Amino acid sequence: MENIIHIENLIYEYPQEEEKEVLRAIRGISLDIERGSFTAIIGRNGSGKSTLAKLLNGLFVPTEGIIYVEKWNTADDKHIWDVRQTAGMVFQNPDNQLVSSIVEDDVAFGPENIGIAPDEIRSRVDDALEAVRMGEYKLKAPHMLSGGQKQRIAIAGVLAMKPKCIIFDEPTAMLDPRGREDILKIIKKLNDEGITTILITHFMDEAVQADRVIIMNDGEIVLDGSPMEVFSQAEKIMKVNLEVPIAVELAGRLRKRGIKIPGDVVTVEDMVNFICQYK
Ligand code: ADP
Ligand code: MG
C-alpha cells in the first residue's frame, strides 16, 4: 500500500536548562502511515505523542532520523510549507488555534497566508464550515461559541488549507461528552472522504474506532496493529498504565464466566451485535 508518511529511526531531544543535558522524548521510531488510513495513537502522559505530532507537521525537526511527508523531507526548509499544508494539525485547546474575532475570518486565515486567490478562499471557507456543520455561525465571534463549536472552527481552519492528512492531538480532551461525540463524528467523516487521519487520544472508545492503534510509551512504540490485535493484549496494555476499552474488559470478564466471545469484539457496537445474535 502507498504511504503518505514515512519515518525512519526517529529521535528527538529537547534541550534542558543544564546546557549539556537533553531529554530524549522520541527514542527511535520507525513508522509508515498508509494514505487514507485512520490511526489512533495512545499512551500515558509524557510518552511523546505530542512531540511526534509536531515532528510530523514540521514544527520540530528530527534530532536524528528522517521523516517524509509525501515526497518532502520535513527537515528541508524549502518545503516546510508543503509539509505543513499536507499534514495539518488540530490541537487540544481550540483557543490557541483561533486568531480572529469573526468565525469566517478565522477559517480564511490559513489560505490567506499562503496567498490563495479571494474567490477560492471564499469557496474554501464555505466548504470547510459546511464540513463541520458550522455554516450558520460564519459571522459569529468564536469566543461566544461552546468548546466543541470552537474545535469545529479550528478543524475548519485546517480543512481550508486542503490538507491530505490531519493530525488531531487530543482534540476532545477539553470537551463534554456531547462535544466529544460531535468531533469524533466529524473526524470519521473526514477520514471517509479520504483524509489520512492520525488521532492522538486518551479515550479508548475513540481509539477502537480507528483502523490501526499505536501505543507509545517512553518515546517508543510498544504496540501497533488493528484495534483487535492491540487491545487483545491486555497485560501489555496495563503494563504501560493504560486501560482497555470497556467492551474488551467486559468481554474478558464474560469469558471467565464461560461465555465464548470472539476476539474481535472491541467496540461497544461489536458487543451489542454479539449479544443480539447470542443464543
Ligand atoms: P505526550 O503528548 O505523550 O504527553 P509529550 O510529547 O508532550 O508527551 O512529552 C514527551 C516528553 O518530552 C515528556 O517527558 C515532556 O516532559 C517532554 N517535553 C515536552 N515538551 C517539552 C518542551 N517544550 N521542553 C522540554 N521538554 C519537553
Ligand atoms: Mg500531548
Q: Quick one: which atom of ligand 1 is closest to the CA of 170?
A: 2
Average pLDDT score over residue span 8-26: 90
Residue 21 in contact with ligand 1 by CB distance below 6 A: no
Tens-place pLDDT, residues 256-272: 999 999 888 888 999 99
Grid coordinates given for 69: 511527508
Query: Which residue has the least CA distance to atom 7 on ligand 1?
Result: 50
Provide the pLDDT for residue 16. 82
Contacts of 188 (CB under 8 A, 6+ apart): 38, 209
Residue 25, Cβ density class (10 Å: 0-12 exposed, 13-18 middle, ≥19 buried): buried
Tens-place pLDDT, residues 58-98: 999 999 999 999 999 999 999 999 999 999 999 999 998 89
Helix pair angle (147-159, 118-131), 10° resolution: 140
pLDDT band at 20 (very low <50, low <70, confident <90, very high): confident
| Ligand nearest to the backbone CA of 41 | 1
CA 201 to mean position of chain CA atoms: 7
Instruction: Identify each DSSP E strand in 59-218 by its residue range.
Output: 64-69, 72-73, 87-90, 165-169, 196-200, 212-217
- Residue 79 DSSP class: G
Provide the pLDDT for residue 125. 97
Neighbours of 4 (CB within 10 A): 18
| Alpha carbon separation from 261 to 204, 207, 246, 255, 268 (Å, rounded) | 20, 21, 14, 7, 13
Q: Quick one: which atom of ligand 1 is closest to the CA of 26?
A: 10
Provide the pLDDT for residue 1. 67
Average pLDDT score over residue span 184-213: 96
